[in-house]
Amino acid sequence: MDRPARLDRLLPFLVLTVFLDLVGFGIILPLLPSYASDMGGTAETVGVLLASFAAAQLLATPLLGRASDRHGRRSVIVISLGANVVAMLLFALAASRHALWLLFASRMLAGATSGNIGACQAAIADVATGPERARAMGKLGAGIGLGMMLGPWIGGRASKLGEAAPPLFAAAMALVALVGVLVFMKETNPAVLGRAGRDGRETAPRGAVSFAALAANPLIAAVGALYFMTFLYMTTLQTALALLAAQRFHWTKDHVGDLFGLFGLVTLIVQSALVGPIAQRVAPVHLVRGAGLLAAAALACIAFSPVSAVMLVGLVLMATALGLTQPLLASLASQYAGEAQQGAVLGLAQSSGSLARAIGPLLWGAIYQHVSPTAAFLGGSVAALGASAVTLRLRETDAATKPTPE
């Protein structure tokens, strides 16, 4: 079967898989600050809680990426979804017992096994190239956006059924996705498929190189830096937006769920309808640069919002910026990876984002609590400007590595 036909058959299923998984993630993410606060935590505790997930993800994601290169995308997705079911059940237990340590254990387990999105992106890279890859990454991002749109809305309503209800709903979503992968998904990794029918020995994929060698590649290093800066400014929302909405505008949990639902809706529209057509006309690096500038303006808007309507405008602008950025980052990372290193490169890139997710919540939580809410969002705005600046280096690096015409 040729690549376009394989992509057409595979993509809807991958989109459904990340959609179900991100519905679960979206259910609990906006409510995490409220859960931590109910258990006696502060804004700094929220930062540490989010950072614990990211720290575990930072250590595990490159290994999961390499495992998907060696053993296949399907097996990594199965492990990630199965562990997420267990993590959400731990979350429900923590909520019912008001046990902060169990909440931390749940988030760390989820972070240590969160390799499914990277594996889905690598599966797309296995069967798509060029503009089709960017389009497919955009569709995958739309599945993520739809999940992040519906998840917070479901979580806000489920919270009225009891404290354990949101994570139990999240566990159910991950379980449905797991069953779908086990029943329907076929392997896409060419190295694993190439070993089928041979002697069955597990060997490293041809062309596999060390993580150090990958990180030394200037293109991959530049994309990693771009991932870091992007996720650094993105964590401002995860850490401080729910707190700001409650403190400044007296919004409740269900209203905060609606707020993140709006964010997911805008992201969905951008990724499903705009990324593909725009990527055919504008270079991805230029798009990511412009999105960083837009995100900087959006966070400044939220920082100084005197009324909730201004905060909503900033949120819509931020969702537009991230809707453009996220699928293009994955497309850039896979573009610079060789066929045998798709999972490893995407894993390293995701790990750079995880490092930002570990640092960002601690940073923004401390600034929010000890300086001011406004300062936390202004810090995120500065980080967004930094992401735009990194694209200049990426452009220079890209030009420097191209052969010079004779």
- Domain limits, the chain: 3-191+209-401
- The CATH class of the 3-191+209-401 domain is mainly alpha
Instruction: Give the mean model confidence (pLDDT) for residues 196-202.
Output: 46
pLDDT > 70: what percent of the chain?
Answer: 87
| pLDDT for 88 | 92
In single-letter form, the type of residue at position 232 comes to L
Confidence of residue 197 (pLDDT cuts 50, 70, 90): very low
pLDDT in tens, 93-138: 998 888 889 999 999 998 888 777 778 888 888 887 767 777 788 7
φ/ψ (deg, to 5) at 41 = -85, 165
- Residue 163 is given by DSSP the state T
Which pair of structure tokens corresponds to residue 212?
Answer: 């150090």
Nearest to 390 by CA among 352, 337, 358: 352
Helices (H) and strands (E) in the chain, counts: 18, 0
Do residues 391 and 226 touch, judged by C-beta distance below 8 A? yes
Confidence of residue 185 (pLDDT cuts 50, 70, 90): confident
Overall pTM surpassing 0.75 (yes/no): no
Q: Which residue has the higher pLDDT, 266 or 351?
A: 266
pLDDT, mean over the chain:
81
Out of 91-100, 141-150, 162-171, 294-303, least confident range: 141-150
Instruction: Say yes or no to pLDDT of 142 above 80.
Output: no
Confidence of residue 214 (pLDDT cuts 50, 70, 90): low
| pLDDT for 89 | 94
Name 198's Cβ contacts closer than 8 Å, sequence gap at least 6. Answer: none
| pLDDT for 134 | 73
| pLDDT for 3 | 64
Nearest to 24 by CA among 65, 81, 74, 71: 81
Confidence of residue 1 (pLDDT cuts 50, 70, 90): low
Task: Give dist(CA 72, CA 147) in Å, integer.
Answer: 25
Instruction: Say yes or no to pLDDT of 312 above 50.
Output: yes
Provide the terminal-to-terminal Cα distance of the chain, rounded to the nearest Å.
39
Q: What share of the chain is helix, strand, coil (3-state, %, to 5)?
A: 85, 0, 15
**CA–CA distances in Å: residue 296 to residues 226, 241, 291, 312, 393:** 15, 15, 9, 15, 19
Nearest to 356 by CA among 75, 88, 51, 67: 51
| pLDDT for 211 | 57
